[in-house]
Structure 1
């Protein structure tokens, strides 16, 4: 409960902007990866007519790229820049000339499809508007260059092309990762190989390098324009993939394929380090230290009968260190038992009794230390309202609770000592509908006494709450349950749920799960397998206690899987 890692930062080359933009907006690109079209493409079950329609649109894209590069070369004033852009255009023209041959090499005959889809038109019109110095886009100025500022237009053009190249490379490499290398039965493997090749990656890098080079002399405001263009291009590309016509039934997005008349969706979620970047105990510690009285010069007790800020900081440090050390000892003690070959839920459940006893001892130490005494409820609520959740978390829940058709129930199950902190964090985002199940601090006239009403103190108590809530829900019909968590305390609930999603990088959770036969499967890979099952058997059953947990690196993946774009 105590402590926890903070967010990590990404290191990029000084002066580079293309790569940082991709990192910044990558969560938006995930919506394309998890689209029904890409999932069917990855599974190898996409209808060939749908694939041919998709690749037929490449011609329109390539023609727009060729024209845009030509205009960019004309705008550039440096001979090296002109040469680099000219080389990019040659590669596009060559691809355009060999397009039909390439499609035949993939095993298909391209139909004579000259009509652009609406999504294709939106992107190509956007690109050519940028190339001519006019951009009609969200939050993008209507006129981005004057006759005296033509050189910057070349950077704008490349900034609008780069995300398209990077997205195709990223998607194809994700698909490549789920294919069996020696299996040539996947009918779209040659397409995947082409776009995940080192040759195409080199092309994408060449475009990004040119964006960086053309942007060196730009002002901060001009760089913001490129960022807006980059983001707009990502959104249009996501729309392109999302609107590709397919004839197959798919398993994504879950909210759209789930029939609420047969089964309602119920989502359970952990809070600390799942929704947040920091453990809530660290936040409470900071409130206590900041609001603590200073020690009196004569050493006498203060009016609030609280420790000084210095003593509090020292005591919190000791508690945190002791918690970390004993938690590791507890996990190591469990790992000393013999590793099982097959999934053993009951064995894991029994082993976690040691974790339950450890958590209770640690909480007792916190109460006895008095470090939670004297906190004002208003300070706690204010801290909750200012709490920054993991990127994409708040937006996901806001969209879920506003979905009147789905009518999803959302429950937060947390070890946190303070339910008021969690409720305040969600209330600031209009998420009062979320039901919070956590421990509670006790108050006297809105000031904490230092005691905690223990309600959710162990993995078993989390599981008991999970089952109690589900039993109550089942009285109104069948429910499909999704549990989202990232710590050891979530393991039992993650496995009991129909769909258990692990977010974060807890090594303890992975080690314990692996020790008792739990399989950790990347979500995209798992969905590809489920899609194949759906096509083969006509059904796809999500079922708890399968021993399979799905892993994600961000809330964007969860959003894309459940809600789509």
Structure 2
């Protein structure tokens, strides 16, 4: 199949590649309120009225795709898909009434709906940017290509719908009849709808078989564009009620509202621990310094020593870390959240971290590194997907109410600063240890500032105290290791990135609850109706888990 491996087909590959976009749809006020069962009925009816415009566009796009297909089997398959949409349009009124809603009179398309429908029809008539295929004089093959392009523009919408509704259905009590949108959700989670989404993907795979790598690239662009238009469509649905997303909108800048985001660095922003990066840098520096001639053997010995010292330090740290966590974890889970107990346990953890750092200094492995090399290593550091994008967005001038602080055990603040040295990220505040230097070369000493959970918490509190108390503040802490536990719990919202088993086990033994962020937001949204408002409270004992930076971005900033 052109330039793409056929295993799983192009439709599956593209869904996996762009699936992260689904997070931005899932976390819209529309879907969070809908999942909570308290989406305003007018907002839902407005959505349904716009959905009619989309369904008509799908039906028209299928009609044009059928005319373009040159194989009778393909034509028949497209005809069936079109019939499904036409039947849905016919039964739309009765089905909506069955769900308990009355459809509004004919409506005009909103800007986001019009952009989506225009895109579908432009694709189906061959008017694709950089890929114009004149309908009347096109060869049969060129027309077949347009049919494939059209299916590429339609497929993500159906897969996205099936996926998001399954995510929501998993949060609902099957016996709860009070959820007014349950029938609607169930419809999109049905085997019939799943089969419909699958048939579209199957046909896209079939129509793509004879395409070149370049043409498959066009399908990829169309698929992605369709996902983005879907995000815009749901983000722009008017919501006339208080919603817990996006978080930044809950703060009123005019009333002095401020959002302060705190974030760990190693394994939260990065995929690797920064000590491993500094170890690699030390070894490269040593290799470069090897002299030629008779002393080479001696230089190789010292390089071998350096490698084995790093390995020994790393192994000892890992073993003692496990032993320490084991020794401070109570054998029995406490009956309710015990912050005091956790603080006491983590005092011992502080001693372990300080001893480990002292061993590194005594070993001399951090001696002789060039500051410029460290900065270059930081600049080439690959951060987790979506991390830089999120920080870039939040540091933009349009978010003057947000402040960002990185709190890290990293031995070298320069490494962090250079990792965030591009664009608006220079304004990030970095709080970490530093490598002592003489004339730009490290001495092997660490200027120790943050070595324990308590010191992290102290830095966290110092920053908050320096802001004053005369305005509405909201704090978010993003972290992923045991050293972050106290800050995670002290913040209004603690978000756990990744899945550190030691953090989870220790937290659970002291009564901490770990809740997936999306389901936590749905519960919060229910509170808005039940209590009249939703407030975030520090030391609640609940932490929210995420698997990507896209979730954090969608929750805090929206799309």
Shorter-chain TM-score above 0.5: yes
Corresponding residue of 2:453: 459
Q: Which among 439, 442, 448 is matched to residue 442 of structure 2?
A: 448
Q: Render the CA deviation track for 1:404-459: whole Å, top value 9, x for unaligned.
A: 45421111000101000001111124312111000100111111111111111111
Counterpart in 2 of 1:326?
Answer: 320
Match of 1:294 among 290, 295, 317: 290
1:257: Cα distance to partner? 2.1
Give the superposition deviation at 1:481.
Answer: 0.8
Q: Displacement of 1:378 after TM fit?
A: 0.5
- 1:436 partnered with 2:425: no
Q: Is the 8 A contact 2:25 2:31 kept in 1?
A: yes
1:212 counterpart residue number: 205
1:143 maps to 2:139: no
Residue 539 of structure 1 is matched in structure 2 by 533
Query: Are residues 1:185 and 2:178 paired?
Result: yes
Alignment pair present for 1:379 and 2:373 = yes
Residues of 2 paired with 1:129 and 1:344: CA distance?
A: 60
**Compared CA separation, residues 395 and 111, structure 1 to 2 (3 A):** same
Aligned equivalent of 2:342: 348
Structure 2 CA distance, aligned partners of 1:257 and 1:250? 8
Q: Which residue is equivalent to 2:416?
A: 422
- Displacement, 1:225? 0.8
- Of 158, 167, 179, the match for 1:174: 167
Structure 1 residue 298, shift from structure 2 partner: 5.0
Aligned partners of 2:412, 2:134: CA distance in 1, in Å? 54
Number of matched residues? Answer: 548
Query: Residue 81 and residue 466 in structure 1: after superposition, are their counterparts in 2 closer, same or farther (change >3 A)?
Result: same
2:246, 2:467 → 1: CA distance?
23
Matches within 5 A, 1:159-558: 159-260=152-253, 261-292=255-286, 293-294=289-290, 298=294, 308-404=302-398, 406-474=400-468, 477-558=471-552
| Root mean square deviation, CA, Å | 2.1
Moved more, 459-468 or 92-101: 92-101
Q: Which moved more, 1:12-21 or 1:31-40?
A: 12-21
Once structures 1 and 2 are overlaid, which stretch shifts more, 248-257 or 408-417?
A: 248-257
Contact 1:15 1:216 in 2 (8 A): no
Q: 2:72 aligned to 51, 56, 79, which one?
A: 79
Inter-CA distance 207–313: structure 2 relative to 1 (3 Å threshold)? farther
Q: 1:350 to 1:299 in 2, by over 3 A?
A: farther
Between the aligned partners of 2:106 and 2:364, the Cα distance in structure 1 is 74
| Contact preservation (8 Å) 2:329, 2:345 | no
Following the alignment from structure 1 to structure 2, what is the Cα–Cα distance between the partners of residues 31 and 245? 16
The Cα of 1:190 is off from its aligned counterpart by 0.4
Shift of 1:478: 4.4
Residues 505-556 of structure 1: CA distance to partner in whole angstroms, max 9, x if unpaired? 1111111111111111111111111112122222221110000111111111
CA distance in 2, matches of 1:481, 1:385: 28
The whole-number CA distance in structure 1 between the counterparts of 2:73 and 2:547 is 40
Matches within 5 A, 1:82-121: 82-121=75-114
Q: Calculate the TM-score normalised by the size of structure 2.
A: 0.93
- Residues 550 and 145 (structure 1), Cα distance of their counterparts in 2 relative to 1, 3 Å cut: farther
**In the alignment, what sits opposite 1:9?**
none
- Tell me whether 432-441 or 328-337 shows the greater mean CA deviation: 328-337
* Corresponding residue for residue 128 of structure 1: 121
Deviations 1:385-420 (A, max 9, x none): 111211111111111111445421111000101000
CA–CA distance in 1 between the matches of 2:110 and 2:509?
A: 51
How big is the shift at 1:189? 0.6
CA contact (8 A) 1:145 1:152 kept: no
Please report how far the alpha carbon of residue 144 of structure 1 lies from its aligned counterpart in structure 2 after TM superposition. 5.2
Q: Which of 148-157 and 64-73 deviates more?
A: 64-73
TM-score normalised by structure 1 residue count: 0.92
CA distance in 1 between counterparts of 2:134 and 2:484 reads: 54
CA contact (8 A) 1:270 1:485 kept: yes
Q: Is the 8 A contact 1:123 1:237 kept in 2?
A: yes
Structure 1 runs of 4+ aligned residues shifted over 6 Å read: none
Structure 1: unaligned runs, 5 residues or longer: 1-11
| Unmatched segments (≥5 aa) in structure 2 | none
Residue 37 of structure 2 aligns with which residue?
Answer: 44
Alpha-carbon distance in structure 2 between the residues aligned to 1:78 and 1:381:
59
Query: Structure 1 CA distance, aligned partners of 2:194 and 2:7?
Result: 21
Please tell me whether the aligned partners of residues 330 and 509 of structure 2 are also in contact (alpha carbons under 8 angstroms). no
For 1:84 and 1:465, locate their aligned partners in 2 and report how far apart those are by CA, in whole Å: 63
Secondary structure of the residue that 2:475 maps to in structure 1?
strand
Q: 1:389 and 1:491 mapped to 2: Cα distance? A: 22
